[in-house]
């Protein structure tokens, strides 16, 4: 496992974790657990360590980094959901292992795994069902990233309508929630979605 080193600064005010250092597992283990080659892991780690010298990403840094890719809008809400999706052990920080596992699924996984991951992202409370409220939150977060200068002008009910369309498509038994099977089924029948799943395969 990774090695955690915490040092505490002065006794005065609060107990401050002044430095947390996390070293990832060895290269061989990661190579075995993910579908990346050694070289790819090296490249990934160098980039990771550059932005997060302490070895872990906390939510603030995550939001910061993700927001840099979307200058027009506000990417923080979506980054929050993303962070929860990557932080598989829910300890509030994303280590390099979590990061690389997530990427391995997204870039090198089977379609089933990718859809699984997407379902996990949408299911905010991780109870196995996507409700309309959860979907609405996600949708609003995505639309937030567009910002305000869009064409056509973004309206209040646009995310809601989009959620309706989504549910119409996905919720086969019309019970108001989307389960994992309905989701995967429906996505596999949709040509567009299947094609887009293979879009980023050559990213690294």
Partner 1 sequence: MAAGVAAWLPFARAAAIGWMPVANLPMPVAPTEKNKRQDELIILNVSGRRFQTWRNTLDRYPDTLLGSSEKEFFYNEETKEYFFDRDPDVFRSVLNFYRTGKLHYPRYECISSYDEELAFFGIVPEIIGDCCYEEYKDRKRENAERLMDDQEDNKDAKLPNMTFRETMWRAFENPHTSTMALVFYYVTGFFIAVSVITNVVETVPCGSAPNQKEVPCGERYTVAFFCMDTACVMIFTVEYLMRLFAAPSRYRFMRSVMSIIDVVAILPYYIGLVMTDNEDVSGAFVTLRVFRVFRIFKFSRHSQGLRILGYTLKSCASELGFLLFSLTMAIIIFATVMFYAEKGSSSSKFTSIPASFWYTIVTMTTLGYGDMVPKTIAGKIFGSICSLSGVLVIALPVPVIVSNFSRIYHQNQRADKRRAQKKARLARIRISKTGSSSAFLHSKRNGLFNEALELTNSTEDEQRLSKSTSLLESQHHHLLHCLEKTTNHEFVDEQYYQQSYLEAGLQNYPSRSPSLSSQDGVTGTCCTRRSKKHHTPLPNASAPAHMQPLTHTHTHPQGLQELSTIHIQPLSTSRSSLNMRVDEPAPLNCQSSQITTAIISIPTPPVTTPEGDAHLPAGPTHQNVVKVSAL
Place of tokens 């596999």: 188
Among 70, 74, 132, 180, binds partner 1 (CB under 8 A): 70
Q: Please give the Cα distance from 96 to 113 (Å, whole number).
A: 20
Q: Using CB under 8 A, which residues numbered 173 to 192 contact partner 1?
A: 183, 187, 192
Report if residue 166 touches partner 1, rule: CB under 8 A. Answer: yes
Q: Near partner 1 by CB under 8 A, which window of 3-11, 16-24, 25-33, 69-77?
A: 69-77
Report if residue 71 touches partner 1, rule: CB under 8 A. Answer: yes
- Residue 178 exposed, middle or buried by CB count within 10 Å (0-12, 13-18, 19+): buried
Q: Kindly write out the interface string for residues 118-157 of this chain, putting x where it contacts partner 1 by CB under 8 A and - elsewhere.
A: x--xx---------------xx--xx-xxxxxxxxxx---
Q: Choose between 6 and 194: whose C-beta lies nearer to partner 1.
A: 194
CB of 4 to partner 1, least distance (A): 23
Give me 141's structure tokens.
């977060």
Report if residue 41 touches partner 1, rule: CB under 8 A. Answer: no
Contact of 85 with 66, CB cutoff 8 Å: no
Contact of 189 with 115, CB cutoff 8 Å: no
Q: Choose between 22 and 108: whose C-beta lies nearer to partner 1.
A: 108
Among 10, 46, 90, 174, binds partner 1 (CB under 8 A): 46
Give me 28's structure tokens.
């061989």
Helix (H, G, I), strand (E, B) or coil at 177: strand
Q: Near partner 1 by CB under 8 A, which window of 4-12, 20-28, 46-54?
A: 46-54
Residue-wise DSSP of 42-70: HHHHHHHHHH-TTSEEEHHHHHHHHHTT-
Q: Please give the Cα distance from 172 to 162 (Å, whole number).
A: 17
Residues 6 or more apart in contact with residue 102 via CB below 8 angstroms: 85, 86, 88, 117
Helix (H, G, I), strand (E, B) or coil at 91: coil
Q: Which residues bind partner 1 (CB under 8 A)?
A: 39, 43-44, 46-48, 50-51, 65-66, 68-72, 81-82, 85, 99, 102-103, 106-107, 114-115, 117-118, 121-122, 138-139, 142-143, 145-154, 158, 161-162, 165-166, 183, 187, 192-193, 195-197, 199-200, 202-204
């Amino acid at each position: 496992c990774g090695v955690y080193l915490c040092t505490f600064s002065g006794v005065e005010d609060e107990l401050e974790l002044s430095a947390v250092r996390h070293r990832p597992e060895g290269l061989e283990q990661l190579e075995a657990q993910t579908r990346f080659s050694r070289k790819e892991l090296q490249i990934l780690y160098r980039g990771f360590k550059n932005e997060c010298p302490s070895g872990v990403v906390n939510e603030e840094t995550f939001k910061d980094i993700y927001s840099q890719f979307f200058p027009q809008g506000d990417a923080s809400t979506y980054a929050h959901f993303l962070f929860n999706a990557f932080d598989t052990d829910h300890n509030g920080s994303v280590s390099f292992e979590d990061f690389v596992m997530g990427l391995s699924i997204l870039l090198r996984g089977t379609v089933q795994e990718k859809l699984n991951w997407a379902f996990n992202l949408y299911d905010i409370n991780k109870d196995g069902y996507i409700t309309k409220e959860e979907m609405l939150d996600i949708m609003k977060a995505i639309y937030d990233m567009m910002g305000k200068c869009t064409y056509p002008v973004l309206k209040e009910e646009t995310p809601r309508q989009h959620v309706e369309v989504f549910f119409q498509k996905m919720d086969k038994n019309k019970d108001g929630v989307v389960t994992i099977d309905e989701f995967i089924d429906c996505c596999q029948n949709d040509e567009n979605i299947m094609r887009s799943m293979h879009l980023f395969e050559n990213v690294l």
